[in-house]
Structure 1
Amino acid sequence: MRQDSQSNVKAVSRLSVAPMMDWTDRHCRVFHRLFTRRTLLYTEMVTTGAILHGPADRLLAHDASEHPVALQLGGSEPDELAAATRTGAAHGYDEINLNVGCPSDRVQSGCFGAALMRDPGRVAECVAAMKETAGDIPVTVKCRIGVDDQEPEHVLPDFIERIRATGICTFIIHARKAWLQGLSPAQNRDIPPLDYGLVGRMKTRFPDCTIVINGGIPDLKAAQAHLADGLDGVMIGRAAYHNPSLLGSADRLIFDAACADTTAEDAVRAMLPYIERELSQGTRLNQITRHMLGAFQGRPGARAWRRHLSENGHLPGAGPETVEAALSKVMPGQIQDEKVAARG
């Protein structure tokens, strides 16, 4: 996704899967990529301290198949964010994103994430430093519409204006406030009301910016509606994780690609060589298959699929055959017919 064209940034941002802690690791991203070639994927948030003082190569490792893939950073010190951006760029990420939206206690204690909504000047310094070391890799910001008792109608446009002055023009906006006092991170994903209208007004007010909407978007039909309303992109989070097969028609519906949709069966089978390779390097099967449990959401056999993987994926020696056995719970007749045909 290396690009210096704002139109190209908008094109790749039309649909993305949100960065989600403990969920969007490299195994998850490979599985999602098998459903869609064009959707932008994000890492979990990685703190600057972890990159600068920890095992950066392990933390930033990703499979070549994941591209386009963005690295999300958490931090609030410009020098540290610049150094982490440089490291992320060297590891081949297609975008570097600053988290200004996470409301967790851990993030608050470090004075970054959603807490930074209170200090747009600091955010501007951070993204300016990141931009200086990013080269031709886009730097973007993911934020909330405000925090606590802030008035989003006033706070959000001022925030965007100050960041935009640094030359950063792509904003992924979670259309809810973050309540840093009184609500847990889980409650912050549901309880504060959504204000999609405000995000739309930001696109009208800042037409030169790429505005991506996030928060409570359940499916591609809803994503299409937001795009039709003039927004540049849509980011889907938990819906894509719990039901990854919804991504199987994204290339056709969102990116207008002339291609067939990818089914859950297609993606699961395509995942088997990756699973085999990872197991040979010491990965445990359930570290991968935990991200695949929702593949058949809403279909007959989905519960049996989940149960088989959950009960057997952690066992010593569990491998691709465990996944194939789980797949047979969803489509028993077809699996058996294919095995007979393969034997000739």
Structure 2
Amino acid sequence: MEKSKENNAKSAARLSVAPMMDWTDRHCRYFHRLMSRHALLYTEMVTSPALVRGGALHLLDHSPEEHPVALQLGGSDPVELAQAARLGAEAGYDEINLNCGCPSDRVQSGTFGAVLMRDAPLVARCVAAMQEAVDVEVTVKCRIGVDDQDPAQVLPEFLGQLDRINCTRVTIHARKAWLQGLSPKENRDIPPLDHDLVHAMKQRFPAMHLSINGGITTLDQAGELLAQGLDGVMIGRAAYHEPWNVLGEADARIYDDPHPQTAEDVARAMLPYIEAHLTSGGKLHQVTRHMLGLFAGRPGARRWRQVLSTKATAPGAGTDVVEEALAQIEQAQAA
């Protein structure tokens, strides 16, 4: 095991930004890293068939500045997942995570994601194969159960299988996933949260590093959950839609490592990255779409979003669009 990487990701996991399809791409992660030096970042889910059979190694692209950063894999074949994990480790990721929580139809048709909650022994075989293949830590993100399962019975059995193979770090999305009848979007809100069950699992498996996900939107909530004995907190949509409100003070409040800066500083720090992206043939909106919520709740935030939304997609759009949007914030601040 590469202990420096394992310990780095494990300590970072006190606060993490959830893997989110179409959102947490490499541009988003670079942007988030500017706000927090310590929070653990995750890729979008990458399927093992895409890497192993499809050769889509570009899906592993990331910037050195993103670390600590974890690769989330989707799959259910132990041999193929081991190969995919090896590719991820060779690409330099600090952690390899197995998705056992996504409820989408596409994921179900591939027999992975949340459907794996029905087959804990298979999950254990997959994780064991991945552990054998790589030196970095292999972790799991799961639900508390699916469909008509009883979470109070299923979750401890699931964690017990992982504990027996020395998979000691798990993030639990504290909702069931309904594989039939609810869309992926509805699965993020409709099934009721059961944070108490996650706390109970920490009591039952005290040696496991358990992070909680689901319904957490602020650093105040994160701090309370950590103070109650959980090892980590994962925040999803709030970290994306209001990134400064979640990540801007995370280092000071969660990691006791303040480094004063402002949201304006972060916007300006993105400019060289954007310039390099444009020079390599990229489009402005590919980066700025992740920056729309930077000033959420601040005077001028609406104009910031409007300028970026309407002008970043124009042919030849450059960093001057970001400068124009930033001027709206400065004007509102001065008013």
Same fold (TM over 0.5): yes
Residue 58 of structure 1: CA displacement?
1.2
Q: CA deviation at 1:332?
A: 2.5
User: What is the TM-score with the length of structure 1 in the denominator?
Assistant: 0.94
Q: Distance in 2 between matches of 1:243 and 1:44?
A: 19
**Equivalents in 2 of 1:27, 1:2: separation in Å?**
27
In the other structure, the counterpart of 1:330 is 329
In 2, distance between residues paired with 1:334 and 1:293? 18
User: What percentage of aligned pairs have identical amino acids?
Assistant: 62
Report the alpha carbon displacement of residue 329 of structure 1 after superposing the two structures with TM. Answer: 0.9
In 1, the alpha carbon distance for the partners of 2:49 and 2:170 equals 24
Alignment-derived partner of residue 234 in structure 2: 235
Once the two structures are superposed, what CA deviation does each residue of 1:226-251 show, in whole Å capped at 9, x if it has no partner? Answer: 00000000000000000010201000
The CA distance in 2 between the partners of 1:7 and 1:92, in whole Å, is 15
Structure 2: distance between partners of 1:164 and 1:8: 21
State the alpha-carbon separation in 2 of the partners of residues 214 and 199 from structure 1: 10
Q: Secondary structure at the match of 2:19?
A: coil
Equivalent residue number for residue 118 of structure 1: 118
1:24 matched residue in structure 2: 24
| Secondary structure in structure 2 of the residue aligned to 1:44 | coil
1:145 shift after superposition: 0.3
SS of corresponding position for 1:253? helix
Q: How much has 1:264 moved relative to structure 2?
A: 1.4
TM-score where L is the length of structure 2: 0.96
1:293 corresponds to which residue? 292
Deviation at 1:55, TM superposition (A): 4.4
Aligned-partner SS, 2:71: strand
Distance 1:125 1:95 in 2: 18
Give the secondary-structure state (helix, strand or coil) at the position aligned to 2:20: coil
CA offset at residue 334 of structure 1?
7.8
Correspondences of 1:170-189 after superposition (within 5 Å): 170-189=169-188
Give the direction of change, closer, same or farther, for the CA distance of 1:10–1:333 in structure 2 (3 Å limit): closer
* Whole-Å separation in 2 of the counterparts to 1:257 and 1:104: 38
- The 8 Å contact of residues 5 and 94 in structure 2, kept in 1 or not, is answered as no
Distance between the aligned counterparts of 1:263 and 1:3, measured in 2? 34
Counterpart-to-counterpart distance in 2, 1:130 and 1:312: 44
Q: Conserved in 1, the CA contact under 8 Å of 2:45 and 2:73? A: yes
Gapped regions of structure 2 (runs ≥ 5): none
**1:52/1:84 contact within 8 Å kept:** yes
Q: Do 2:243 and 2:294's aligned partners in 1 also have CA atoms closer than 8 Å?
A: yes
SS, match of residue 36 in structure 2 = coil
SS at match of 2:22: coil
Instruction: Tell me by how many angstroms 1:151 deviates.
Output: 0.4
Structure 1 residues 2 and 273, CA, compared in 2 at 3 Å: closer, same or farther? farther
CA deviation map 1:32-55 (0-9, x unaligned): 000000000000000001111334
Cα distance in 1 between the residues matched to 2:103 and 2:123: 16
The amino acid of 1:120's aligned partner reads A
**Residue 41 of structure 1 corresponds to which residue in structure 2?**
41
User: SS of the residue aligned with 1:328?
Assistant: helix
Tell whether the 8 Å contact from 2:178 to 2:187 is kept in structure 1 after alignment: yes
Residues 1:152 and 1:181: Cα distance change in structure 2 (over 3 Å): same
Corresponding position of 2:210: 211
Query: How well do the aligned residues superpose, as a CA RMSD in angstroms?
Result: 1.6
CA distance in structure 1 between the aligned counterparts of 2:160 and 2:332, rounded to whole angstroms = 59
Post-superposition offset of 1:316: 1.1
- What per-residue deviation string (whole Å, max 9, x for no partner) do you get for residues 124-173 of structure 1? 000000000111x1100000000000000010000000111111110100
5+ long unaligned stretches in structure 1: 336-344
Amino acid at match of 1:304: R
